[in-house]
Amino acid sequence: MKQKIFFTIAILSLLSFAVFVVAQSNQETTIDNFSLSKGWNLAYGLKDPSQIIGEGSNSQGISVEEIRNSIELIYVYDPSIADYVLLYAKEGTKETEEYKNFNPPEETPTSTMWVYSERTYSIKYNSPDYPSLSTKDIIKGWNFIPVSPEMQGKSINDLKGNCFYEEVYTYAEEDGITQWIKLDGVLDDNRMLGEASASGLQLVIKVKDDCRMGAQ
């Protein structure tokens, strides 16, 4: 595994990280113009490069094979074993043997994945349909929350339901560096989630107790 994700995972583990996990769904959605940066990315529901169906509609000239081939590693956190699970390793990486010998569980969490890319692209890919916030419990501690179309036009505070936010972050590129970005200053901004949904950003939220989010 790349050194950077070791560092990132170590931070999240120290924070008693929990994950927003949803049941597998037969429904799919297409995510367009997702900004896949060189290095580690948080991408909702992207478990295998074969889900990538092309460039984002804002790009031209890159083949789907080239984009898929740029994906080196994909991990997801599985709360049932309290560890990260390797979902994909490109042939030739040091994780290849682990991937070949891996027996996947009957149900893999459908969540936000850590995806390592060799290059930067705008991509289009198929993923499981977004879960409804109103039917999903949030676990005490840290949770991955995919930004879905139902959140557009609402602020992060509009979606708190009976949750008490302690901290809210996203992991994205800012000033040319992919990094953790604290969102305390935009919790009441009802434009931010629309922009985040369009660009594929994910929320990482720490809550005080088990709770349920939902639109107010």
Q: Any idea how long the chain is?
A: 216
pLDDT tens digits for range 94-133: 777 665 555 655 555 557 889 999 998 889 999 888 878 7
> What mean pLDDT do residues 171-183 have?
83
Q: In what order do the strands lie in the sheet with 83-89?
A: 39-44, 112-117, 71-78, 83-89
Residues 6+ apart with CB under 8 A from 120: 35, 36, 37, 38
Smallest CA-to-CA distance from 84 within 10, 181, 143, 156 is with 10
DSSP 134: G
Alpha helices in 60-100 (DSSP H): 64-70, 96-100
When comparing pLDDT for 79 and 179, which is higher? 179
Alpha helices in the chain (DSSP H): 3-14, 64-70, 96-100, 192-199
Tell me, what's the pLDDT at 148?
84
